[in-house]
Amino acid sequence: MTNPAEPIAKTQAEADMRRLAKIGSIAALVGVAVIVAAMLAGLGLLSLIDPFVKAVTTLDGGLFWTTGLAALHQLAPLIPIGFYLTAVLGALRILDRISEGQYFSETNIRTLGEMGGSMLWGAGWTVFLVPALSDWTAGIVDYRVDFRPEPLVIGTIGLCLLVLGRLLLRAQKLEADMAEIV
């Protein structure tokens, strides 16, 4: 059943697109669940609770520092996942709106750009900061980057989405300006 507020699809192709968007929305929701599960599994911070409590109760600065470094060491690789999760949530929102018949809304276009920015930030963290933080918290005083193909692809697609979002917003503004003139 369709929501009475949703415009009715005019063609079979439009109905198919909406159905595909709904399926994509469900897939994105599953993706969110998997990402959250991976983040929770990757935390491994429960083993640090006891040393942290001991450091606080005994006011042991050395133990507190060591425990904090261990926590940062475990959290650093999860930071990009938070950015990627934000991008997937944006995709979920866009797909939901498309399935309801909202195609080129300003909200969808802004969300597209935000998704791109999130992907770009996540890739940047993965390439430039996570390896360094992991090394520094492990006592290795060096700086390295990790140019694996996956974050480079994610970052490139993110940059493209960011630019497309800005381009589409500009096109909407130009269209509105043209409508005022005519």
Q: Is residue 1 part of a domain?
A: no
Q: Is residue 7 part of a domain?
A: no
pLDDT given for residue 46 in this prediction: 60
Q: Is residue 2 part of a domain?
A: no
The Cα 41–Cα 20 span in angstroms is 31
Q: Is residue 3 part of a domain?
A: no
Q: Do 77 and 131 form a contact (C-beta atoms < 8 A)? A: no
How many other CB atoms are there within 10 angstroms of residue 145's CB atom? 12
Angle (deg, nearest 10), helices 61-75 and 12-43: 150
pLDDT given for residue 1 in this prediction: 45
For the entire predicted model, the pTM comes to 0.77
Average pLDDT per block of 10 residues along the chain, 182 residues long: 65 91 92 83 66 74 75 83 93 93 92 97 95 86 89 96 95 88 80
Q: Is residue 88 part of a domain?
A: yes
Q: 51: closest CA among 81, 71, 77?
A: 71
Q: 122: closest CA among 88, 72, 91, 95?
A: 88
Number of domains in the chain: 1
- Domain carrying residue 28: 12-181
Q: Is residue 5 part of a domain?
A: no
Q: Is residue 128 part of a domain?
A: yes
pLDDT given for residue 34 in this prediction: 87
Q: Is residue 4 part of a domain?
A: no
